[in-house]
Amino acid sequence: MVVRRSRRGEVMKKISEAVVRRLPVYLQVLSDLSKRDVQTVSSQELGNKLDLNPAQIRKDLAYFGEFGRKGIGYDVSYLIEKIRQILKLDQGLNVGLVGAGNLGRALCNYNTYLKDNMKITAVFDANPAMIGVAINSLVVMPMDQLKDIVVARNIRIGIITVPAAEAQNVADGFVEAGVEGILNFAPTILRVPEHVRIHYADFTTELLSLAYYLEKEGDETDEPVMD
């Protein structure tokens, strides 16, 4: 079995993607609780809110440390702080976006949504007509400045909101410029080197799979039967 070790040599349990993907969800609920001045929360309560098994929540968190207190639960503020550290949100991450179309502009305006020290700090577009256009406090820049700006502003994450046909080119540009992660909104699969992480945010997948679960038009429900 391949095992990672930290510099100090402790075995690092390989943490699955499913676990990592739940962390932002925990963060969301914890932020709500914090706003409502809740001090402490148990895995049971979190599980109720999220439709998740409490044991799973405890196990997820335990991968990263002992954040709870037996008999008490988790301190909301402390847990928020810890999860933010795990997700590197304590660092201040700069994000670049390519594709100043409708979706791209929406994301720029959402910049408050991307709170947590993550911020879109540069927007690019291939269309000459878009260059110089202001989106909030950002000004659209031409693609030939991508690399320079990414380096200059220490941009570590790239967002792609161009049509599918151009997405691979943009990804290549981001990779060459040295970003470490890419979030792709175009409905297409991209090839990037192993050292670059790529996540997909293609809502068409969610929308089309949603259709599967609709009742077939004019179909009666079939009865579940015990076997």
Partner DNA sequence: TAGATTGTTAATCGATTAACAATC
Which range in 22-30, 39-47, 55-63, 137-145 contacts its own copies by CB under 8 A? 22-30
Q: One symbol per residue from 54 to 83: x for binding DNA (CB under 7 A), - otherwise; what is it?
A: xxx-xx-xx---xxxxxxxxx---------
69 binds, among its own copies, DNA, none (CB under 5 to 8 A by kind): DNA
Among 13, 16, 25, 62, binds its own copies (CB under 8 A): 25
Q: How far is the CB of 18 from DNA (least distance, A)?
A: 4
Q: At what angle do helices 43-50 and 17-35 cross, to 10 degrees?
A: 100
User: Which contiguous run of DSSP H or E holds residue 158?
Assistant: strand 155-160
- Select 58 or 147, whichever has its Cβ closest to DNA: 58
- Select 59 or 115, whichever has its Cβ closest to DNA: 59
Return the half-sphere exposure (C-beta side, CA atoms, 13 A cut-off) of residue 182: 29
Hey, how many other C-beta atoms are within 10 angstroms of the C-beta on 24? Answer: 12
Among 48, 53, 109, 154, binds DNA (CB under 7 A): 53
178 binds DNA (CB under 7 A): no
185 binds, among its own copies, DNA, none (CB under 5 to 8 A by kind): its own copies
**Concatenated DSSP letters of 91-133:** S-EEEEEE--SHHHHHHHHGGGTTTTTEEEEEEEES-GGGTT-
177 binds its own copies (CB under 8 A): no
Query: Judged by CB under 8 A, how many residues of this single chain contact its own copies?
Result: 78
48 assigned ligand-binding residue: no
Pull the structure tokens for residue 74. Answer: 């988790």
Binding to its own copies (CB under 8 A) within 178-217 occurs at 180-183, 185, 187-189, 197, 199-201, 203-217
HEC readout, 9-33: CCEECCCCHHHHHHHHHHHHHHHHH
CA dist 221 and 205 (Å) reads: 25
Binding to its own copies (CB under 8 A) within 120-149 occurs at none
Q: What is the dihedral of CA 37, 39, 44, 46, to 10 degrees?
A: 50
Query: Which chain residues interact with DNA by CB under 7 A?
Result: 16-19, 41-44, 52-56, 58-59, 61-62, 66-74
| Residue numbers belonging to the annotated binding site for NAD(+) | 99-104
